[in-house]
Amino acid sequence: MPDEALLKGRYRLLAQQGSGGMAVVYKAKDLLLERLVAIKVLRPSLTNDPEFLKRFQQEARNVANLSHPNIVTVHDVGQDGNTHFIVMEFVDGQDLKRLIRAEAPFSIDRALSIAIKICAGVGYAHRAGLVHADVKPQNVLVTANYKTVKVTDFGIAQALTATTHPRERQKVVWGSPHYFSPEQAQGEPPTPSSDVYAIGIVLFEMLTGRLPFVGADQQALAMAHIKEQPPNASDFNPNVPEHLDRILQKVLSKEPTSRYRTADQLGRILLSYRRQGYVTTDQVPEVVPGDSAPYTSPLQAPNHVPAAVPPAVPVPQSIAPPTVPDPRAEAVTSTYAQPPYAAPQAAMPSVASQPYAQQPPYPPPPVMQSRYRAAEPSPQMDVVTLLLAFIAFIAIVLLIPLWIAVYQAWVG
């Protein structure tokens, strides 16, 4: 902790919450606004570089403009002597890495729920033109009962990649090599696709309790990211469905162009998969805030192993049941309704924070009379038919004398 427990005469440092290669995090109190905050103090090794500090302050201002339920809000960025710090909202929870160490492998539904929320936050930043560049479980904060998931540390790694001192950059970048994309391992600048790769590794770790790539040292780990084919998650967790394995294989592709372009695209894929396979991908459904009770399916039995969904068989219209909306489906939010890279206009709701749709069943379609049905006799039509027949008969009778007269005149 810095020598002074009070920064800028406003923020009182209370206790250290964690530390990393780039900063130390403290729980603090904002004496002016009387609220708890989290303060990330940069390590002195970074503050000696004026170019980095300039870039860092610009990135911090950009992140401060992001307002999203799945991104930790930045309140302030400042300096007190040689101490440079960021003031953020205080999240009463713990980082995802600790939860993985304690509880992994997660259930399929829990892992998907967390990954979708990570995609929502990172995807929002992508549409604002920002790349996180250091997505990892240590930078994901989770509250009790997994109700809130927030991504933090936007801007620091991105500012670091733009510094003019490659030696110092390499020293810090190697602080979390397990989640770096192959292009980052080769020293190339990160892109939104690099964040997608990192999210894929986080999802793999939640599902299996281990990382897809390991190495004796940093160099070996970098070569594994660049050359080795990632294993299937189902090799370590047989409950992982085949389709989810395929999604992970695409996300962990070596070529950035073979992955999903942005976190938004990955989020839409995971959300769609979760809806379609909900009854076979988890033992206990997640309770979403706003729901009075979770949906329980008779198919969700203990130790249920997901099975491949058979292809749909067409049902004749005459016996098809009326369509009823699935109460398990989540409401589609504006987070995944906007195209990639659209500039964010306002705070958007979390993808998985909306309650499940609770609409009443649609009424069955009205019974339609077939137009090919045989016509039934009508009494009114019978009277008209008889009347027309009688008139025709009278006309014929009256024309008979006329025909006889014409015939006699023609013969005579």
> Minimal CA–CA distance to 29: which of 10, 51, 49?
10
- Supply the CATH number for residue 214's domain: 1.10.510.10
Dist. CA 249–CA 300, nearest whole Å = 27
Tell me what pLDDT residue 411 has: 77
**Residues annotated as catalytic (active site), given as ranges:** 134
**Angle formed by the axes of helices 96-103 and 192-208, to 10°?**
30
- For residue 114, being part of any structural domain is answered with yes
Report pLDDT for 154.
Answer: 80
Q: What type of residue sits at position 52?
A: F
**Rounded Cα–Cα distance for residues 196 and 299 (Å):** 32
Q: What is the pLDDT of residue 404?
A: 84
Q: How does strand 23-30 pair with strand 11-19?
A: antiparallel
Q: CA–CA separation, 204 vs 187, rounded Å?
A: 24
- Decide: 47 and 53 in contact? Cβ < 8 Å: yes
Q: Is the residue at 119 inside a domain?
A: yes
What is the residue range of 258's domain? 92-284+332-336
Question: Going by C-beta distance under 8 Å and a sequence separation of 6 or more, which residues neighbour residue 78?
Answer: 7, 8, 84, 85, 87
| Cα of 33 vs its chain's centroid, Å | 34
Residue 54 lies in a domain: no
CB 211 within 8 A of CB 169: no
Number of domains composing the chain:
1
Q: How far apart are the first and last CA of the chain?
A: 141
Residue with tokens 């440092």: 13
Mean pLDDT of successive 10-residue segments in the chain (412 residues)? 75 89 89 94 83 78 88 91 91 94 95 97 93 92 91 68 46 64 90 96 97 90 93 96 96 96 96 76 38 32 39 42 42 42 41 38 40 46 76 84 82 71
The verdict on residue 410 lying in a domain is: no
Pair type for strands 6-7 and 11-19: antiparallel
In a domain, 307, yes or no: no
- In this structure, the strands spanning 35-42 and 23-30 are antiparallel
In a domain, 5, yes or no: no
Contact yes or no for 183/190 (Cβ under 8 A): yes
100 inside domain: yes
Distance, in Å, from the CA atom of 140 to the CA atom of 148, rounded to the nearest integer, reads: 10
SS3 19: strand
- Per the CB < 8 A criterion, the answer to whether 78 and 41 are in contact is no
- Here the tokens at position 405 are 């007269």
